Every structure is written in structure tokens, then in C-alpha cells.
Structure 1
Amino acid sequence: MDGLVTLLELAYSSGSVYISDVMHLAFQREVQEEQGWLSFLRGWCVHFEDRLAYLDAIIWELELCSNRASVARFLVELRNGDYVVFADAIMYFKAIRKFEADKLDNLYLFLQASVMHVARRREFVARFGGV
């Protein structure tokens, strides 16, 4: 029933009784929805890129403090076991960074596949537009 309602709505919106006009409108709408999805995915990519830059800065600062005790002493008071804490923190943030980088890589792959999918939809729009 939902399919019939959608078809009637498309026929009414297209202002035509010809199936080619209805299909053209349907594919146009799908392309618009997919383009919104692509914008959403690109926003997530930017989010993860920012997150990676933030994690890189944390790792850099921890490595600086670990390698130069004078810098760390300037920031905090060091005790005997604090170098182990720095090493553990560096390993922890590097593991998080790797995980986030893997997520970003997968997101880029998904974005690439989605872009190809939208291109295929645009081809259908062009086919029905020429009919």
C-alpha cells in the first residue's frame, strides 16, 4: 500500500501521467536524498580528522614531556614512577589514534562507494530525463 501511495504522490508531484516523468522525478528525489547523505558523511570525516589532530597534539605533548624531564617538571611535579605513567599514556593515546584512523579510513571507503552510487543514480535521472 505504501508503494502505491508513493507512486500516486510522485505522479501528482510530477504533474504528468507518463511513467517516464514519474520515474525521472523519483530518481531526482533519490539523488537529492543521497546528496544529503554524502554531506552528512563528509561532516563525519571532518569530525574524525579533527579528532585525529587533537590526539596527535596530545601524543606530541606527552612525548615531549616524556623525553624532556625539564618540560614535565615545569608543568607538574614528577615522582619516581611518573615516567611509566607517561609511557602508558602515550601507548594508550596511540592505540586510540590508530582506532580512530581506521574508522576514518573505513568512512572514506564508505563515502567513496556512496559517491559512486549517487553517480549511478544520476545516470538513471539522465536516462529518464531524455525520454
Structure 2
Amino acid sequence: MDSLARLLELGYSANSVLAIDIMRLGFQREVQEERSWFSFLYGWCVHVADRVAYLDAIIQELELCSNDVSIAQLVVELRSDDGLVFIDSIMYFKSIRDFEVEKLANMHLFLQASRAHLERRMQFLARFNAM
């Protein structure tokens, strides 16, 4: 029933009862959906890359503070065991950054696959439009 309803909706949207017009509109919609998915995925890649840069900045500041305690004392009051807190914090943020870097690498692979899939659909639509 869903297929029939989708076909009727495509026919109504195409303002035609010709199968070729209905199919063309269906393929155009598929390309539009793929483009929106690609755009969404690209946006997430940008977001994760920004997060990695932010974590790198945090790690750099923590390493600076742990290497030069006088700088850290300007900002916060330090106790004798706060050196361990800096080291633990650095390890914690590095593990988060490593996870985000791996996630970003996987997302880039998925983005490449999505780009190839979108290009194939666009080529098919172009061949179909040429008929």
C-alpha cells in the first residue's frame, strides 16, 4: 500500500500520468535526499573537527600548566598533590581527543562513500533525463 501511495503522490506531484515523468521526479527526489544527507554529514564532520581543535587547546594549556607550575599558580591555588590532577586531566582529555579523531576519520570515510553514492545517483539521473 505504501508503494502505491508513493506512486500516486509522485504522479500528482509530476502533474503527469506518464511513467517516465513519474520516474524522473522520483529519481530527482532521491538525489535531493542524498544531497541533504551529504550536507548533514559534512556539517557533523566540521563539528567534530572543531571539537578536536578545542580539545587540543585544552590539552596544550594543561601541559603548559603542568610543566610550569608558576603559570598555574597565577590562575589557581595549587596544593601539593595537584600535579597528579594535571596529569590525570591531560590523560583524560587525550583519550577523549583520540576517540574524536578516530570518529572524525570514520566520518570522513563515510563522507567519501556518500559522495561517491551521490555522484552515481546524479549520473543515473542525468542519463535518465537525456532519454
Fold shared per TM-score above 0.5: yes
Instruction: Give the structure 1 partner of residue 129 of structure 2.
Output: 129
C-alpha distance in structure 2 between counterparts of 1:127 and 1:36, whole Å: 22
Question: Bigger relative contact order, structure 1 or 2, given CA contacts below 8 A and separation 6+?
Answer: 1
Instruction: Give the structure 2 partner of residue 20 of structure 1.
Output: 20
C-alpha distance in structure 1 between counterparts of 2:121 and 2:18, whole Å: 20
C-alpha distance in structure 2 between counterparts of 1:77 and 1:35, whole Å: 52
Amino acid at match of 1:47: H
* Residue correspondences, number: 131
Indicate conservation of the 8 Å contact 1:21/1:128, yes or no: no
- RMSD of aligned residue pairs (Cα, Å): 1.1
C-alpha distance in structure 2 between counterparts of 1:29 and 1:59, whole Å: 45
C-alpha distance in structure 2 between counterparts of 1:129 and 1:18, whole Å: 14
TM-score where L is the length of structure 2: 0.94
Query: Runs of 4+ in structure 1 displaced over 3 angstroms?
Result: none
TM-score where L is the length of structure 1: 0.94
Amino acid at match of 1:96: I
Indicate conservation of the 8 Å contact 1:21/1:129, yes or no: no
Aligned pairs for 1:1-131 (under 5 A) are 1-131=1-131
Aligned identity (percent) is 63
Deviations 1:3-52 (Å, cap 9, x if unpaired)?
Answer: 01111221222233332222111110010011111111111111111111
Higher mean C-alpha deviation, range 12-21 or range 119-128? 12-21
**How much has 1:120 moved relative to structure 2?**
1.0
Gaps of 5+ in 1: none
